[in-house]
């Protein structure tokens, strides 16, 4: 089987490429701005993703595309026209690739979307399911939904579409808020998150990579929208405790009431950060597991251990 992966040098892309490179039956093509560290992969340089990008060299002879490259969510977006920037890459760029893939005879297109298509929180206590009405709240989530809708419309071409909506993904080389939490814990900084009873679904990058590879070839994945997680939801308090244990630096947590945290975040204009750290976002991935006979290959604790080991190793270098 010939598989093309985009975003091969990204956080998720590296994990997917590493797994595919271990399989002798796979002929792998990696597309991106820079060549990934995959000796067994053919590399096609794609300097920019947009509506005019020429993908012919990448999609010719390809059976399956796993499309991970995207303009990602940013806490502080400096682009003067962020809506157009998200649409150019995540919508127009994705659909341009998909159309060229369909014309080239690609059999299946696996699109990495986001749980942000469903929404930002599950305050009602009911986990998100794939069949729930979409309710994106930011430009990134809107762009992913628009790309999903455009891809479904391409189903008439005969190319099978698979959509995967992951939650927060963590693992070696993770960035953003997860990296910040590891830095706080490693420095022994007291954190005011000792009384949170929220619940959030996460997915280890190894689990997500394994699911995407499964979606590339499982017959029941065709035409599906799939949600996935590690299968164990954690409060932010519990996550910090277990992450601190993995780092060898027990979390120093102060039991500040959530109402006080909310007020402080509002006064500082950091409501978004409060929602991500203190709100709930649960995913029901049981339908995915049943459909594909798939189970996460690592537990939460093992995923945290691998993440912590990489973080500590990078600190020593």
Task: Compute the distance between CA of residue 312 and CA of residue 310 in angstroms, rounded to an integer.
Answer: 6
Name the active-site residue from 43, 140, 170, 274. 140
Question: Structure tokens of 292?
Answer: 């594909």
Which is nearest to 16 in space by CA: 24, 5, 2, 26? 5
The region that residue 44 occupies, defined by phi over 0 for left and psi between -120 and 50 for alpha, beta otherwise, is beta
Task: State residue 163 phi and psi, 5-degree precision.
Answer: -115, 130
Rounded CA Rg of the chain:
20
- Helices 11-21 and 205-217, axial angle in degrees (round to 10): 60
Q: Is 274 an annotated catalytic residue?
A: no
Task: Compute the distance between CA of residue 69 and CA of residue 60 in angstroms, rounded to an integer.
Answer: 19
Give how far Cα 105 sits from Cα of 39, 146, 296, Å: 26, 24, 31
Give 25: exposed, middle or buried? Use CB within 10 Å, 0-12, 13-18, 19+.
Answer: exposed
For the chain, how are helix, strand and coil distributed in percent, rounded to 5? 45, 15, 40
Element containing residue 240 per DSSP (H, E): helix 236-247
Task: Compute the distance between CA of residue 213 and CA of residue 13 in angstroms, rounded to an integer.
Answer: 11
53 and 47 in contact (C-beta within 8 Å)? no
- Residues paired with residue 128 on neighbouring β-strands, in sequence order: 283
Which is nearest to 122 in space by CA: 132, 109, 112, 110? 132
Q: Which residues are catalytic?
A: 140
């Amino acid at each position: 089987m010939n598989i093309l992966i985009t975003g091969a040098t990204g956080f998720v892309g590296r994990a997917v490429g590493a797994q595919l490179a271990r399989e002798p039956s796979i002929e792998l093509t990696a597309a991106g701005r820079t060549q990934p560290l995959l000796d067994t992969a053919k590399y096609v340089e794609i300097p920019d993703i947009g509506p005019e990008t020429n993908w012919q060299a990448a999609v010719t002879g390809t059976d399956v595309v796993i499309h991970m490259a995207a303009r990602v969510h940013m806490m502080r977006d400096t682009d003067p026209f962020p809506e157009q920037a998200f649409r150019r890459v995540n919508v127009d760029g994705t659909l341009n690739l998909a159309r060229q893939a369909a014309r080239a005879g690609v059999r299946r297109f696996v699109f990495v979307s986001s749980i942000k298509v469903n929404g930002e929180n599950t305050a009602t206590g009911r986990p998100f399911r794939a069949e729930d009405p979409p309710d994106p709240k930011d430009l990134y989530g809107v762009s992913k939904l628009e790309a999903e809708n455009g891809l479904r419309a391409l189903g008439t071409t005969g190319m099978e579409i698979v959509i995967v909506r992951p939650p927060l993904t963590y693992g070696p080389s993770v960035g953003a808020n997860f990296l910040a939490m590891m830095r706080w814990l490693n420095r022994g900084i007291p954190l005011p998150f000792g009384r949170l009873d929220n619940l959030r679904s996460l997915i280890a990058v190894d689990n997500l990579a394994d699911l995407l590879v499964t979606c590339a070839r499982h017959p029941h994945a065709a035409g599906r929208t799939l949600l996935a997680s590690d299968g164990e939801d954690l409060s932010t308090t519990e996550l910090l405790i277990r992450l601190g244990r993995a780092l060898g630096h027990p979390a120093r947590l102060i039991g500040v009431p959530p109402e006080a945290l909310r007020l402080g975040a509002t006064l500082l204009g950091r409501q978004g950060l409060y929602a991500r750290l203190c709100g709930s976002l649960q995913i029901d991935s049981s339908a995915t597991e049943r459909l594909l006979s798939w189970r996460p290959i690592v537990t939460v604790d093992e995923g945290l251990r691998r993440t912590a080991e990489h973080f500590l190793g990078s600190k020593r270098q």
